[in-house]
Amino acid sequence: MLEKGRATIVTGVQFGDEGKGKIVDVLSADADLVCRVQGGNNAGHTIWIGDRKVVTHLLPSGILRPEKKVAIGAGVVLDPVVLVQEIEKLRKEGVPIDGSRLWLDPRAHIIMPLHKLLERKSEDSLTQTGAAIGTTGRGIGPTYASRANRNGPRVCDLVHPEHLEAFLSTHVEFQEGFTSEIRAAYAEAGAALKEFVTDVALRANDALEQGARVLIEGAQGAMLDVAFGTYPFVTSSSLISGSAAGGLGISPTRINRVVGVIKAYMTRVGNGPFPSELEGQLSETLREKGKEYGATTGRPRRVGWLDLVALRYFARLNGITDFVLMKSDVLDGFESVGVLTDYVDKKTARSTSFSFGWPIAAKEWEQVEPVVEFFSGWEQLLNVDNTLNVNFRTFVGFIEDRTKVPVRYVSSGPERSEGIWL
Ligand code: IMP
Ligand code: MG
């Protein structure tokens, strides 16, 4: 699937947690360089290798293949202590990590204690008024705000203690919460990360010019995009594929494939619109069967049917060339499987009555009434001869028909080996 001298984006097309970790791990077998370009340790990518579960938050999933190079681009916001812990943990498990295969862009912004304090304050105050976002509490939003305000520290400051001290003496607000303990931990993390720091944009361009196959690993999902998602219930980075080049520092003309990762049903952590959301026993069954608890915060995920209206919309905004369909096996044994096929206005029952065609304002989201159609379920999505169960095939065909995007891969279980290419 990957081409020489080109970049492929793997991106979530729902609310995150689509199973990107697994598919990036599978695709990275053919990649030379795997990169994270946005978000931070709000992400949690779970990969199963045998009965070993690996969760990465900041390191690209490609880190698990020792012969691959991985990079953290300028668009990422970084908690240095978390990154060092992640590196140490994988090293203990025998994964070789050094400056020859992990590259960290000096332009990435550093999450400071102040950012987490500001986030907590804002969420506490919004909780009082019933408008909390339900963030992961990692300081992601305030760190991106500092970047836009041009007053935040970056990796290039962190790895030179004298730069960081100079920064703190001119940006005194960042001394809040920066206790002597945390200061020491940041100094230690800075020293540990120094060997990885390199101009990732330059290295990625060099690699592409030499014919490398680059894989860009998206975090979160399009419906959480800061501009196009269900604002303000979104994360603080740009997630649609058009922004990925900017998070790494390559030209968009290098990108020739955008792989959209979707789950056969949907989940959402945190607050905000979710038209196909399920309640009651069915939602509990789905949550338990799909182990739908946040990989980062452990929060139970809200669950619902696949939303094909949203999927078509975000497939177009992303220019998705291929879908990979994850976790359909969780629906094995369901008598019937729902899909959301239309949004109608609660009052008028008309299907395209939102003022801009797609609900954008919070008030418009409140007006959305979902139309759900049901398909006959399947006992097991794969027949014994590895062909698709006929009812499952109908379900897949319907997704392709409604979204105009081909489904190329169907995952049939959490492990690397469990899935088939169509
Ligand atoms: P933040 O990214 O921590 O600011 O959280 C903003 C919103 O995005 C919240 O609803 C989070 O639950 C959600 N979110 C952030 N990262 C992820 C992720 O990796 N998977 C799923 N949801 C996420
Ligand atoms: Mg996740």
66, exposed or middle or buried, with CB in 10 Å at 0-12, 13-18, 19+?
exposed
Residue among 121, 122, 224 whose CB has most ligand 1 atoms within 8 A, to mutate: 224
Confidence of residue 353 (pLDDT cuts 50, 70, 90): low
pLDDT digits (tens, 9 = 90+) for 37-96: 999 999 998 888 888 888 899 999 999 999 999 999 999 999 999 999 999 999 999 999
Task: Determine which helix (DSSP H) or strand (DSSP E) holds 207, and give its type and residue range.
Answer: helix 200-209
Determine if ligand 1 sits within 6 Å of the CB of residue 138.
yes
Query: In sequence order, what DSSP letters do the residues of 218-283 get, joined into one string?
Result: EEEEGGG-TTTSSTTSS-SS--SGGGHHHHHT--GGGEEEEEEEEESEEEE-SSS--TTB--HHHH
Determine if ligand 1 sits within 6 Å of the CB of residue 229.
no
Please state, for a pLDDT cut of 90, what percent of the chain lies above it: 90
Please state, for a pLDDT cut of 70, what percent of the chain lies above it: 99
Q: Any idea of the CA torsion for 231, 236, 237, 241, to the nearest 10 degrees?
A: -20
How many Cα neighbours within 13 Å face the side chain of 252? 9
Interatomic CA distance for residues 13 and 29, integer angstroms: 23
**Of the ligands numbered here, which is closest to the C-alpha atom of 123?**
1
For residue 371, count other CB atoms closer than 10 A to its CB.
15
Which protein residue has the closest C-alpha to ligand 1 atom 9?
A: 135
Nearby residues of 260 by Cβ (< 8 Å), 6 or more positions away = 11, 12, 13, 314, 315, 318, 320, 322, 323, 324, 405
Residue 356 has pLDDT above 80, yes or no: no
The residue assigned the tokens 């979710």 is 274
Task: Determine which helix (DSSP H) or strand (DSSP E) holds 147, and give its type and residue range.
Answer: helix 140-149
203-215 CB burial, b ≥16 within 10 A, e <16: bbbebbeeebbbb
- In angstroms, the first-to-last Cα distance of the chain is 12
In this prediction, residues 179-191 reach a mean pLDDT of 97
Determine if ligand 1 sits within 6 Å of the CB of residue 325.
no
Interatomic CA distance for residues 252 and 13, integer angstroms: 19
pLDDT digits (tens, 9 = 90+) for 398-412: 999 999 999 999 999
Q: Is the peptide bond before 153 cis (omega within 30 degrees of 0)?
A: no
By three-state DSSP, how is residue 405 classified?
coil
Q: Across the chain, what does the average pLDDT equal?
A: 96
Confidence of residue 352 (pLDDT cuts 50, 70, 90): low
Q: What pLDDT does 51 receive?
A: 85
Q: Any idea of the CA torsion for 325, 331, 333, 338, to the nearest 10 degrees?
A: -110
239-275 CB burial, b ≥16 within 10 A, e <16: bbbbbbbebbbbeeebbebbbbbbbbbbbbbbbbbbb
Q: What pLDDT does 415 receive?
A: 87
CB distance 269 to 294 below 8 Å? yes
Distance from Cα 331 to the centre of ligand 2, integer Å: 20
Instruction: Compare 306 and 417 and report the one with higher pLDDT.
Output: 306
Confidence of residue 349 (pLDDT cuts 50, 70, 90): confident
Nearby residues of 148 by Cβ (< 8 Å), 6 or more positions away = none
Determine if ligand 1 sits within 6 Å of the CB of residue 58.
no
Nearby residues of 147 by Cβ (< 8 Å), 6 or more positions away = 77, 109
Interatomic CA distance for residues 289 and 287, integer angstroms: 6
Query: In sequence order, what DSSP letters do the residues of 74-116 get, joined into one string?
Result: TTBEE-HHHHHHHHHHHHHTT----TTTEEE-TTSEEP-HHHH
Residue 416 has pLDDT above 90, yes or no: no
Atom nearest to 271 CA in ligand 1: 10
Residue among 14, 41, 42, 58 whose CB has most ligand 1 atoms within 8 A, to mutate: 42
Quick one: residue 238, left, alpha or beta (phi over 0 = left, psi -120 to 50 = alpha)? beta
Nearby residues of 124 by Cβ (< 8 Å), 6 or more positions away = none
Nearby residues of 298 by Cβ (< 8 Å), 6 or more positions away = none
Interatomic CA distance for residues 370 and 57, integer angstroms: 33
Interatomic CA distance for residues 22 and 85, integer angstroms: 21
